[in-house]
Amino acid sequence: MDTAQFITKSFKDSIEKANFSWQTPSNIALVKYWGKSNPQIPKNASISFTLNNCHTITTIKFEKKEKTSSVDFELFFEGKEKEEFKPKIADFFTRIQDYCSYIFEYKMTINSENSFPHSSGIASSASGLSAIAMCLMSLEHALNPTLTKEFINKKASFLARLGSGSASRSIEGPLVVWGTHPNIEGSSDLFGIQFPYKVHSVFENYQDAILLVDKGEKQVSSTVGHNLMHDHPYAENRFQQANENMSKMVEILQNGDIKAFVNLVESEALTLHAMMLTSTPYFVLMKPNTLEIINRIWEYRKEHDSNLCFTLDAGANVHVLYPELEKESVNQFIENQLSKYCQKNHYICDSVGYGAAQL
Ligand code: PMV
C-alpha cells in the first residue's frame, strides 16, 4: 500500500511560531466498520454521513524548539488541563511520527472543545482526532506551500485514521467512504474519500436527531469491540455482508430508493449490535429505552407512511435519520413521544454537514 506518499521530507521553509484552529465534525456510519487489522486497516468498507452541529474545535499553538526524541505537548480540554486524555493523544503522535517527523521540532499546546456535552455518550474521538490532524496539516502546509488541498485532506484523513478508524471519515462531507471497495472508485483502506457519485436529492440535507438514552462512559471501548471480531464465529460472513451492503448503498444513494435505504441502515445497526451480542465475552449495549424508541419509530413509520429510520453506534443512544421534507413532523414526534426515553429528555438535532473548516 502506498503509504510512502505521506512521509514528509525536509522542508526549505522554517516556521518559528504558528497557531492553527479547525472545526471538524462527528459522523454517523450507515454501513458500519467493526473489525480491523494492524495498523488500523478496516476489515470492510464503510460509509457515513458527516454531521454538522456535533463537532470539535481545536487550536494548536506550535513553538519551534530543539529536536528531541519524544513529542512535547500540553493538552487543555474546555480550558482545563486534561491529564487523563493525554495517553490517547501521545499514542496517536507515536503512530503518526513517521509521517509527520516535524512534530519532534515543536512544542505543541492543544486547546480543544466539543459542541456536544462531554458526557453525552457521543464518541468524540472522530471529531477530536480529525481536528488535530487538520491542525498538523496546516503546519505542514505552512512548511511546504506546494501541498494541494486534495493532498492535505487525504493525508489528514490518513493521519486521523491512525488515531481512530472512523476519524478518517471526519474530514470531508456530506458522505464519506473509507475502505477499499471494488464498486467505489478511488476508495482506500488508508483514508476516507468523498462518495464519488451523484447523490439523489432525497438525501440532501438529511436530518439526524441523536437521542441520548445513556450519557455514561461507553460500556465497551472501540478497541475492545474491534478486537472481539478476531475469532468471532460470524466475523467473515459479517465482513462479506458489509461489503455487499456497500454495493447496495452505492445504488440506493444514486437512485433515491428510500425504502431500501431505511431497511439497509436499520439492518446494519442491528447487525453491529448482533456482533456484540454473540462475541466472547458478550455485551448488550442497548438499554430498555433504546428498544422503546426503536418500537415507537417502527409504529410511527407505519402509521404515517414515513421514511424515518434509526441507526446505532456501539452504545445505547439512537440516531434518528429522516429526510428534510419530514423535518417538522418528525421533530414534533421526537419532542412529544421520544424525548421521554432520553436521559433528562436530552436529544441533539443535527443534519448532514460538509466537513472540516478552518477558523
Ligand atoms: O473509530 P472507532 O475505532 O471508534 O470505531 C467506530 C465504530 C463504529 O462507530 C461502531 C462504527 C463506525 O463505522 O463508525
Distance 105 CA to ligand 1 centre (A): 32
**Residue 131 maps to a domain:** yes
**Residue 358 maps to a domain:** no
275-323 tens-digit pLDDT: 999 999 999 999 999 999 999 999 999 999 999 999 999 999 999 999 9
Say which CATH number the domain at 10 has. 3.30.230.10
Q: Which of 197, 220, 242 is the last residue of a domain?
A: 197
Residues 26 and 109 in one domain: yes
Q: Which domain holds residue 187?
A: 4-197
Three-class DSSP labels, the chain:
CCCHHHCCCCCCCCCCEEEEEEEEEEEEEEECCCCEECCCEECCCEEEEEEEEEEEEEEEEEEECCCCCCCEEEEEECCEECHHHHHHHHHHHHHHCCCCHHHHHEEEEEEEEECCCCCCCCCCHHHHHHHHHHHHHHHHHHHCCCCCHHHHHHHHHHHHHHHCHHHHHCCECCEEEECCCCCCCCCCCCCEEECCCCCCHHHCCCEEEEECCCCCCCCCCHHHHHHCCCCCCCHHHHHHHHHHHHHHHHHHHHHCCHHHHHHHHHHHHHHHHHHHHCCCCCCCCCCHHHHHHHHHHHHHHHHHCCCCEEEECCCCCEEEEECHHHHHHHHHHHHHHHHHHCHHHCEEEEEECCECEEC
Minimum-distance ligand 1 atom for the alpha carbon of 34: 7
Residues 38 and 115 in one domain: yes
Residues 193 and 210 in one domain: no
Give the number of domains in the chain. 2
Q: Which of 197, 227, 258 is the last residue of a domain?
A: 197
Q: In the structure, which protein residues have their CB atom closer than 6 angstroms to any atom of ligand 1?
A: 29, 32-34, 46, 123, 125, 164-166, 222, 272, 313-314
Out of 33, 130, 181, 249, mutate this one to test ligand 1's pocket (max ligand atoms within 8 Å of CB): namely 33
Residues 99 and 210 in one domain: no
Residues 224 and 309 in one domain: yes
Q: pTM above 0.95?
A: yes
- The pLDDT value recorded for residue 206 is 98
Q: Which of 151, 166, 197 is the last residue of a domain?
A: 197
Minimum-distance ligand 1 atom for the alpha carbon of 272: 10
177-228 tens-digit pLDDT: 999 999 999 999 999 999 999 999 999 999 999 999 998 777 888 899 999 9
Say which CATH number the domain at 321 has. 3.30.70.890
Residues 73 and 190 in one domain: yes
Out of 31, 34, 124, 285, mutate this one to test ligand 1's pocket (max ligand atoms within 8 Å of CB): namely 34
Residues 192 and 213 in one domain: no
Minimum-distance ligand 1 atom for the alpha carbon of 31: 13
Residues 23 and 95 in one domain: yes
Out of 222, 265, 283, 311, mutate this one to test ligand 1's pocket (max ligand atoms within 8 Å of CB): namely 222
